[in-house]
């Protein structure tokens, strides 16, 4: 009687059909690997949902790094509600900046499209052991990018902390894309007062436009207006 082998379920996501099918076929030749392929982000999400519905969840997604121009934004969608899923970017070229962004988005590995099958299998099995895999040539650049991003985030957080509570509320409305009138209605303020708050926010953050303020706020982790539900409260008939 044969011994059952624990199988690794892999989803290849690549819009180059020949490459995707060739890679899937090569992986499927391994006795412990089961493979499916998808040609787009929406198709991959449907595939993941169907598998979950059947009780046969995927373990690893091999994601084309250049899908739709840049596959990195898809990572968060793939991992949403799937904490066990490991995403590995399969890239046409090494790029320390994009690799760092991918790691921040939740990617566990980055490999080149022309790497050997043995290397790819080692990465697939490694990420399932909670290992992070990067090409050695990328490591220094990625660490530099992550250090720089952390520095910018720390500086941005300090600037946001310099705002008053009301100015932070106005900033969060700005992050959500609300205009001056909408902010005034949301916070029960006059448009003139909101204009003053916005000018103060820009000055304290050291920026010259709403777009720059929003970018800095996002770096600092400032959430949008939907997180404001409990922020504005009445105390003794006056707004806090």
What CATH number is attached to the domain comprising 203? Answer: 1.10.10.10
Domain membership of residue 148 (yes or no) is: no
Helix (H, G, I), strand (E, B) or coil at 169: helix
120 contact partners, CB below 8 Å, separation of at least 6: 27, 62, 90, 111
Sheet containing 60-64: order of strands? 33-38, 8-13, 60-64, 86-91, 109-112
pTM: 0.62
Which stretches within 31-130 are classed as H helix?
Answer: 41-53, 74-79, 96-105, 117-127
79, 111, 143 - which closes a domain: 143
Q: How many Cβ atoms are within 10 Å of 65's Cβ, its own excluded?
A: 24
Residues 33-87: tens digit of each pLDDT: 999 999 998 999 999 999 888 888 999 999 998 876 667 778 888 888 888 999 9
Range of the domain at 120: 8-143
Q: Are residues 135 and 175 in the same domain?
A: no
Q: Are residues 133 and 189 in the same domain?
A: no
Q: Are residues 104 and 174 in the same domain?
A: no
Q: Are residues 129 and 170 in the same domain?
A: no
77, 108, 143 - which closes a domain: 143
The tokens describing 95, both together, are: 């790029």
Residues 190-215: tens digit of each pLDDT: 999 999 999 999 999 998 888 888 88
The tokens describing 100, both together, are: 């760092």
What CATH number is attached to the domain comprising 105? Answer: 3.40.50.2300
């Amino acid at each position: 009687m044969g011994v059952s082998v624990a199988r690794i379920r892999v989803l290849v996501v690549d819009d180059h059909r020949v490459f995707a099918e060739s890679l899937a076929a090569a992986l499927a030749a391994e006795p412990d690997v089961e493979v499916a392929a998808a040609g787009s982000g929406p198709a991959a999400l449907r595939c993941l949902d169907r598998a979950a519905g059947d009780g046969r969840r995927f373990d690893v997604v091999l994601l084309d790094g250049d899908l739709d121009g840049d596959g990195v934004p898809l990572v968060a969608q793939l991992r949403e509600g799937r904490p066990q899923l490991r995403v590995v970017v399969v890239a046409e070229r090494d790029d320390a900046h994009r690799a760092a962004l991918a790691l921040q988005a939740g990617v566990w590995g980055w490999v080149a499209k022309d790497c050997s099958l043995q290397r790819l299998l080692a990465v697939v099995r490694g990420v399932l052991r909670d290992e992070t895999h990067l090409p050695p040539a990328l490591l220094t650049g990625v660490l530099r990018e992550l250090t720089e991003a952390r520095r910018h985030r720390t500086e941005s957080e300090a600037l946001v902390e310099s705002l008053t509570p009301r100015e932070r509320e106005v900033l969060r409305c700005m992050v959500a894309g609300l205009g001056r009138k909408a902010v005034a209605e949301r916070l029960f303020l006059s448009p003139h007062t909101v204009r003053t708050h916005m000018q103060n926010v820009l000055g304290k953050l050291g920026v010259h436009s709403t777009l720059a303020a929003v970018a800095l706020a996002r770096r600092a982790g400032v959430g949008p207006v939907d997180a404001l539900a409990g922020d504005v409260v009445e105390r003794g008939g006056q707004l806090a």
